[in-house]
């Protein structure tokens, strides 16, 4: 399939823009990616990037509290935002007639968000409820994305809880918010993406009209979050009072997603060979043949691939019955990795993985919201939105030898193993605010 | 964060001052979809829609799959888990390999009302996907070893599921509102699953995996006319004189006390309220849909603005319809910290009453109307979204025409219609439900609120 049309340019204030016109349905997607995620949070302010994401919805110079939601939805649209290790995104999908309105809403909060004490206090409460819902009151809540990094990584940016501790959240001040905004939320530190039913000339004009006078501020210097790989096997344990069965999370360091994309893609194919489908190696052996686990999954990234710069994590997670030991699970895994390291997988086995990837990429691009977000995040992280359209082809070019090499690099003596011990089912011991 | 920066107040204003919000442009209508809605010779209804946005095809099969037998939920669950694990022609790994090579996936699931099969593949792989589907529908073997293994996994998964607060709350709500009706048995009992035999699964397949009364939806890069012939050929061997088994009608909800179900030490409570409404075929449905959106059906609703954005009691509050066969109820859900639960229930009921007594303003009605129309267009813009919409409609006997006509129905609703629907369907007295949480802390306050009893559901 030919690449769809893609237009990229930069405004005088440094805002990068990606336009992807597509007239197949009368809808548009608009997103803004800011180049800051939870790895940039200062110590003592865990969860701040995410809390700040909430605050960006709470009003701006031209829009009272609640107005952002009301304007998007009364235009027939939907919205959301999400915080990742290395970026924060905001997005709307609306009927095409609302394009200018969506651009206005994003521009107004990029120019002059209204950060107030009242909204900060309210959103701290809302975020605490979000954490109770998704982490504290749920089995395997936060596993492994919150609980594995502190075992694998040793520096604060990589190891800390991106949802945040209640004490840190409660101590966040309005001045912290102002500093965070001025440092990270400048147009020069952001990418605006518009996809869907519009003409390039029309969109260009509207973007200039609404974003053109957002004053330039320099993008902050981006620190390296690099840290050495572990020099031995690191172990951690976690008691989960809600969990009925033991679980294990294994984290490995993987090739630099940006500067060694081919190596990174080989890891993605490896993850598929290991756990994608009933015929995959670990499913076959550990779920069906032996069987050692209830479920097992492998993947790149803590929330999925292509959402972080280096260092990024290759994760394997499994839930297993109490009579199976951690060591049994690890031994079977290591044996399968050794087999792959010794003998590259055949073409047919690779094709199963890459054909499924090609289909799932098509499916993702068919949803306007996913396509808009993918274009924006690839422009931000890779400086190249069009890479989105070449991923399937690049995946199919991964060789058996490359997958073999990737398997060889997942070494027992350079990984983190997190063991989740199930609770008795009682939740009485749980202390609010000490979620780990 | 000590670098020199502006204050929050300085950040929030510019020299030019606030600006006017741009008005909306002219909206183009979505293109008409080329589709076929027909019934195959085996009685299976088929909706096939051409939507060639990407070279894929989405498949949904819904088979009514009710059963009165005490072991039915467990047997049905094992059947759904093993339907695609082997046939006379393919073992489990061959099924996976055949599908993988066409970028495909097929999965099945079951609930008290139906067995559902979902699939996707590259469009060029559709013949293979249909072949695998037909193979499973007509020749699933339920090999002893596969049944034994899936039974074990299922028991383990049921254990995980029953620790999820949302599952606990859902089971409590089902029992509280529907008693012993088969609809309440959504997650089977582990001890029932343990005794399901391969023979029982094969017998259930014979008796209940039937084309007549079932629906198949195909959306994607296909020619709807020719695909019907392909389906007729592929699924011709799937035949029976009997019809798929429909769930007995649910009793109408008439309202009643909220049941406080104890969950010792929980840091958060689940509020789940429910009331009878009417289904999509009722002339009042469009107005009712808008009333629901105004109440709690979208973010800019009264409920969310009150208990989340004003008071911070919850991260997620929502109201929405649940359709079962020809009936529908509206459910209100919120998860709240223990300390905020009683106050959140008070506000939730207050907003129910207020919706009828101080009905949505013209602005509110316009907002929910645009939202309802816009969400239809957005959902229908992807193959998967459209397939999901059509499968849901087809279950009520509706089709693509209903979808195409619904924007006009929404456009015709008046503020008075919404007010009437609000007063008729959202009165607090019409609701019943459960709160699951730390009863030691919650009981005194909830009892003081009134219309709350404490205990386990019957």
Query: Do residues A205 and A265 both lie within one domain?
Result: no
Residue B25: closest CA among chain A residues belongs to which residue? A97
Residue A424 is predicted with a pLDDT of: 57
DSSP state of A187: G
Residue B1 is predicted with a pLDDT of: 52
Query: Do residues A57 and A201 both lie within one domain?
Result: yes
Please state, in angstroms and as integers, the Cα–Cα distance from residue A175 to each residue in A57, A87, A115, following that order.
18, 21, 10
Structure tokens at B451: 């219309």
Give the whole-angstrom CA distance, residue A63 versus residue A113: 9
Buried b (16+ CB within 10 A) or exposed e, A59-91: bbbbbebbbbbbbbbbbbbbbbbebbbbbbbbb
Give the whole-angstrom CA distance, residue A136 versus residue A332: 32
**Residue holding tokens 């813009």?**
B381
Which among B92, B311, B336 is the nearest to A278, CB-wise? B92
Residue A8 is predicted with a pLDDT of: 97
A365 in a structural domain: no
Q: Indicate the SS3 state at residue A150.
A: helix
Q: In sequence order, what are the residues at sequence separation of 6 or more whose Cβ sits closer than 8 angstroms to the Cβ of residue A327?
A: none
Edge to edge, the sheet with strand A88-95 lists A7-10, A16-21, A190-196, A27-34, A88-95, A78-83
* Cβ under 8 Å to A: B residues 75-94: 85, 92-93
Q: Where does A85-162 have alpha helices with state H? A: 99-111, 117-131, 149-152, 156-159
A374 in a structural domain: no
Q: Indicate the SS3 state at residue A400.
A: helix
Query: Is pLDDT above 50 for A430?
Result: no
Which among B99, B163, B311 is the nearest to A244, CB-wise? B163
**Residue holding tokens 């235009």?**
A75
Residue A425 is predicted with a pLDDT of: 44
Q: What is the pLDDT along chain B (458 residues), one digit of tens a residue?
A: 556 899 999 999 999 999 999 999 888 888 888 999 999 999 999 999 999 999 999 999 999 999 999 999 999 999 999 999 999 999 999 999 999 999 999 999 999 999 999 999 999 999 999 999 999 999 999 999 999 999 999 998 898 889 889 999 999 999 999 999 999 999 999 999 999 999 999 999 999 999 999 999 999 999 999 999 999 999 999 999 999 999 999 999 999 999 999 999 898 999 999 999 999 999 999 999 999 999 999 999 999 999 999 999 999 899 999 999 989 999 999 999 999 999 999 999 999 999 999 999 999 999 999 999 999 999 999 999 999 999 999 988 999 999 999 999 999 999 999 999 999 999 999 999 999 999 999 999 999 999 999 999 97
Quick: pLDDT tens for B356-405: 999 999 999 999 999 999 999 999 999 999 999 999 999 889 999 999 99
Whether residue B300 and residue A74 make contact (CB cut-off 8 A), yes or no, is yes
Give the whole-angstrom CA distance, residue A29 versus residue A108: 17
Residues of B in contact with A319 (CB under 8 A): 156, 160
Q: In sequence order, what are the residues at sequence separation of 6 or more whose Cβ sits closer than 8 angstroms to the Cβ of residue A335?
A: none
Query: Do residues A162 and A259 both lie within one domain?
Result: no
Query: Is pLDDT above 50 for A324?
Result: yes
Query: Do residues A106 and A254 both lie within one domain?
Result: no
Edge to edge, the sheet with strand A295-300 lists A234-240, A415-422, A247-253, A313-319, A295-300
Structure tokens at A225: 């979050």
Give the whole-angstrom CA distance, residue A148 versus residue A237: 10
A159 in a structural domain: yes
A154 in a structural domain: yes
A281 in a structural domain: yes
Query: Do residues A96 and A245 both lie within one domain?
Result: no
Residue A3 is predicted with a pLDDT of: 61
Query: Do residues A109 and A175 both lie within one domain?
Result: yes
Which domain CATH number covers A125?
3.30.830.10
Q: Does A63 touch chain B (CB under 8 A)?
A: yes
Whether residue B335 and residue A242 make contact (CB cut-off 8 A), yes or no, is no
- Across the range A131-152, mean pLDDT stands at 92
Query: Do residues A104 and A29 both lie within one domain?
Result: yes
Closest to B307 (Cα-Cα) out of A122, A56, A350, A105: A122
- Across the range A90-94, mean pLDDT stands at 97
Residue B30 is predicted with a pLDDT of: 81
Q: Does B164 touch chain A (CB under 8 A)?
A: yes
Query: Do residues A175 and A242 both lie within one domain?
Result: no
Q: In sequence order, what are the residues at sequence separation of 6 or more whose Cβ sits closer than 8 angstroms to the Cβ of residue B150?
A: B78, B81, B82, B85
Give the DSSP H or E segment for A197.
Answer: none
Query: Do residues A23 and A165 both lie within one domain?
Result: yes
A247-253 vs A88-95, strand pairing mode: unpaired
A364 in a structural domain: no
Residue A427 is predicted with a pLDDT of: 38
Query: Do residues A158 and A290 both lie within one domain?
Result: no
Burial label, B392 (beta-carbon count in 10 A; 0-12, 13-18, 19+): middle
A370 in a structural domain: no
Mean pLDDT over the full length of chain A:
93
Confidence of residue A303 (pLDDT cuts 50, 70, 90): confident
Residue B33 is predicted with a pLDDT of: 86
Measured from the Cβ of residue B352, the count of other Cβ atoms closer than 10 Å reads 26
Q: What would the DSSP string read from start to end of A206-253?
A: HHHHHHTTSPP-PPPPPPP---PPPSS-EEEEEEETT-SS-EEEEEEE
Residue A98: closest CA among chain B residues belongs to which residue? B24
Number of domains present in the structure of chain A:
2
Q: Read off φ and ψ for residue A113, nearest 5 degrees.
A: -70, 145
Give me Rg for the CA atoms of chain A: 22
Residue A109: closest CA among chain B residues belongs to which residue? B12
Residue A1 is predicted with a pLDDT of: 43
Residue A365 is predicted with a pLDDT of: 92
Q: In sequence order, what are the residues at sequence separation of 6 or more whose Cβ sits closer than 8 angstroms to the Cβ of residue B354?
A: B302
Residue B8 is predicted with a pLDDT of: 96
* Cβ under 8 Å to A: B residues 38-67: 53-56
Structure tokens at B175: 């029992």
Q: Does B19 touch chain A (CB under 8 A)?
A: yes
Query: Do residues A90 and A126 both lie within one domain?
Result: yes
A33 in a structural domain: yes
Q: For chains A and B, count residue pairs whose Cβ atoms are closer than 8 Å.
A: 295
Give the length of chain B: 458
Alpha carbon of A338: minimum distance to chain B alpha carbons (Å): 22
Quick: pLDDT tens for A381-420: 999 999 999 999 999 999 999 999 999 999 999 999 999 9
Q: Indicate the SS3 state at residue A317.
A: strand
Range of the domain at A338: 234-344+399-422
- What percent of chain A has a predicted confidence (pLDDT) above 70? 96
Q: Does B100 touch chain A (CB under 8 A)?
A: yes
**Residue holding tokens 């073997």?**
B141
Mutation site for A-interface testing, chosen from B16, B23, B24 by largest number of A Cβ within 10 Å: B24
Residue A41: closest CA among chain B residues belongs to which residue? B1
Quick: pLDDT tens for A161-207: 999 999 999 999 999 999 999 999 999 999 999 999 999 999 999 99
Give the whole-angstrom CA distance, residue A158 versus residue A52: 19
Query: Do residues A182 and A262 both lie within one domain?
Result: no
Q: Which of the two residues, A430 and B454, has the higher pLDDT score?
A: B454
Boundary-marking domain end, from A177, A212, A247: A212
Please state, in angstroms and as integers, the Cα–Cα distance from residue A226 to each residue in A230, A249, A416, B208, following that order.
12, 22, 17, 58
Go through the domains of chain B in sequence order and give each one's CATH number: 35-236 (3.30.830.10), 258-454 (3.30.830.10)
Confidence of residue A436 (pLDDT cuts 50, 70, 90): very low
DSSP state of A3: P
Please answer whether residues A137 and B268 qualify as being in contact, where contact means their C-beta atoms are separated by less than 8 angstroms. Answer: yes
Confidence of residue A366 (pLDDT cuts 50, 70, 90): very high
B105-110 vs A78-83, strand pairing mode: unpaired
A130-139, A254-263, B258-267: the lowest-pLDDT one:
A130-139
């Amino acid at each position: 399939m030919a690449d769809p049309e893609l237009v990229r340019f930069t405004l005088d204030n440094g805002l990068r823009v990606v336009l992807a016109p597509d007239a197949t349905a009368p809808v548009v997607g608009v997103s803004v990616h800011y180049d800051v995620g939870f790895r940039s949070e200062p110590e003592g302010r865990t969860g701040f990037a995410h809390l700040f994401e909430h605050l960006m919805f709470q009003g701006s110079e031209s829009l009272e509290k609640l107005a952002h939601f009301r304007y998007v939805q009364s235009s027939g649209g939907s919205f959301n935002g999400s915080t990742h290790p290395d970026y924060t995104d905001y997005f709307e999908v609306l009927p095409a007639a609302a394009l200018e309105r969506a651009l206005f809403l994003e521009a107004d909060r990029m120019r002059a968000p209204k950060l107030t004490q009242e909204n900060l206090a309210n959103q701290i409460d809302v975020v605490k409820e979000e954490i109770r819902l998704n982490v504290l009151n749920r089995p395997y809540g936060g596993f492994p994305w919150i609980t594995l990094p502190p075992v694998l990584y040793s520096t604060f940016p990589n190891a800390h809880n991106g949802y945040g501790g209640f004490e840190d959240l409660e101590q966040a001040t309005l001045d912290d918010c102002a500093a965070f905004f001025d440092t990270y939320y400048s147009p020069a530190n952001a990418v605006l993406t518009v996809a869907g039913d519009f003409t390039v000339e029309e969109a260009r004009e509207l973007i200039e009209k609404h974003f053109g006078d957002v004053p330039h501020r320099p993008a902050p210097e981006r620190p390296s979050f690099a840290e050495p790989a572990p020099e031995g096997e690191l172990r951690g344990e976690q008691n989960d009072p809600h969990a009925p069965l033991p679980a294990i999370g294994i984290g490995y360091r993987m090739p630099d997603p940006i500067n060694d994309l081919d190596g990174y893609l080989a890891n993605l194919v490896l993850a598929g060979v290991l756990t994608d489908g009933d015929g995959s190696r670990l499913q076959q052996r550990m779920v069906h043949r032996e069987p050692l686990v209830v479920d097992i999954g492998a993947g790149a990234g803590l929330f999925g691939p292509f959402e972080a710069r280096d260092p990024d994590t290759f994760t394997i997670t499994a839930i297993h019955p109490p009579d199976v030991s951690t060591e049994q699970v690890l031994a079977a895994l290591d044996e399968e990795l050794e087999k792959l390291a010794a003998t590259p997988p055949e073409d047919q086995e690779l094709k199963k993985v890459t054909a499924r990837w090609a289909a799932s990429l098509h499916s993702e691009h068919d949803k306007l919201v996913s396509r808009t977000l993918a274009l924006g995040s690839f422009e931000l992280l890779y400086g190249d939105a069009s890479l989105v359209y070449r991923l399937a082809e690049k995946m199919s070019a991964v060789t058996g030898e490359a997958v073999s090499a990737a398997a060889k690099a997942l070494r027992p003596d350079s990984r983190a193993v997190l063991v989740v011990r199930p609770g008795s089912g009682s939740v009485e011991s749980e202390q609010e605010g000490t979620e780990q | 964060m000590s670098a020199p920066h502006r204050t929050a107040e300085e950040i929030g204003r510019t020299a030019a001052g606030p600006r006017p919000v741009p008005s909306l442009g002219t909206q183009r209508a979505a293109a008409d979809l080329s589709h076929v809605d027909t019934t195959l010779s085996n009685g299976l209804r088929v909706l096939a829609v051409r939507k060639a946005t990407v070279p894929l095809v989405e498949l949904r099969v819904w088979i009514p799959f009710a059963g009165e037998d005490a072991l039915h939920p467990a047997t049905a669950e094992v059947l759904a888990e093993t339907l695609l694990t082997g046939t006379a022609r393919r073992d489990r790994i061959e099924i996976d390999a055949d599908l993988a090579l066409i970028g495909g996936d097929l999965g099945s699931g079951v609930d008290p009302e139906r067995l559902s099969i979902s699939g996707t593949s590259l469009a060029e792989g559709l013949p293979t996907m249909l072949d695998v589907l037909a193979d499973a529908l007509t020749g699933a073997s339920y090999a002893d070893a596969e049944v034994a293994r899936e039974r074990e996994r299922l028991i383990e998964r049921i254990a995980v599921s029953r620790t999820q607060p949302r599952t606990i709350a859902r089971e409590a709500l089902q029992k509280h509102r529907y008693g012993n009706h088969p609809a309440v048995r959504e997650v089977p009992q582990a001890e029932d699953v343990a005794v399901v035999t391969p023979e029982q699964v094969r017998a259930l397949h014979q008796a209940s995996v039937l084309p007549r009364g079932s629906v198949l939806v195909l959306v994607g890069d296909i020619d709807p006319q020719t695909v019907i012939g392909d389906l007729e050929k592929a699924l011709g061997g799937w035949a029976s004189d009997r019809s798929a088994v429909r769930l007995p009608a649910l009793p109408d909800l008439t309202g009643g006390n909220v049941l406080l179900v104890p969950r010792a030490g929980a840091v958060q409570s689940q509020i789940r309220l429910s009331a009878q409404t009417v289904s999509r075929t009722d002339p009042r449905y469009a107005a009712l849909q808008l009333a629901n959106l105004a109440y709690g059906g979208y973010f800019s609703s009264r409920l969310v603005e009150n208990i989340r954005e004003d008071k911070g009691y919850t991260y997620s509050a929502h109201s929405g319809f649940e359709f079962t066969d020809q009936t529908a109820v509206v459910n209100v859900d919120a998860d709240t910290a223990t300390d905020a639960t009683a106050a959140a229930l008070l506000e939730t009921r207050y907003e129910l009453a207020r919706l009828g007594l101080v009905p949505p303003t013209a602005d509110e009605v316009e907002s929910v109307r645009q939202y309802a129309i816009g969400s239809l267009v957005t959902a229908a813009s992807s193959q998967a979204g459209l397939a999901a919409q059509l499968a849901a409609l087809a279950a009520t006997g509706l089709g693509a025409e209903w979808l195409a006509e619904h924007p006009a129905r929404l456009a015709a609703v008046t503020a008075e219609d919404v007010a009437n629907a609000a007063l008729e369907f959202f009165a607090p007295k019409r609701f019943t439900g459960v709160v699951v949480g730390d009863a030691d802390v919650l009981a005194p306050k909830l009892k003081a609120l009134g219309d709350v009893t404490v205990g386990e559901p019957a």
